[in-house]
Amino acid sequence: MTTVLLIIHLLIALALVGVILLQRSEGGALGIGGGGFGGLMTGRASSNLLTRTTAVLAAGFITTSLLLAIAASMSRAPQSILDQPAAAPAAPAEPAAPREPSAPLAD
């Protein structure tokens, strides 16, 4: 299920980038499009179509993002410190036996 959602999400993202690049640039000269689709539509009609298409794709992008986030959170088991069993306390280490003092040896 997550794989299908991820593929749909990627396709929507690519379509969104393409539609945004087809829109007419306002002044930055970064837009690729701007023409009337070869005379099929007027400038205003193509602008309205691209704007609405962008809005629909953006809504689909947000929806698939939310669904992917929900799917990711459901596949993970909730973890809490309270759910884990208490660790057995470690036994204290035996203190080292003191060594007998040694006196310096004279040569």
Q: Is the pLDDT confidence value at 34 over 60?
A: no
| Averaged pLDDT, 57-73 | 94
Q: Is the pLDDT confidence value at 29 over 60?
A: no
Q: Is the pLDDT confidence value at 67 over 70?
A: yes
pLDDT at 32: 57
pLDDT at 7: 96
Residue 52: band (very low, low, confident or very high) from pLDDT cuts 50, 70, 90: very high
pTM over 0.75, yes/no: no
Query: What DSSP line would sit under 26-69, residue for residue?
Result: SSSS--S--S-TTTTS-HHHHHHHHHHHHHHHHHHHHHHHHHHH
**Exposed (0-12), middle (13-18) or buried (19+): which is 53, by Cβ within 10 Å?**
middle
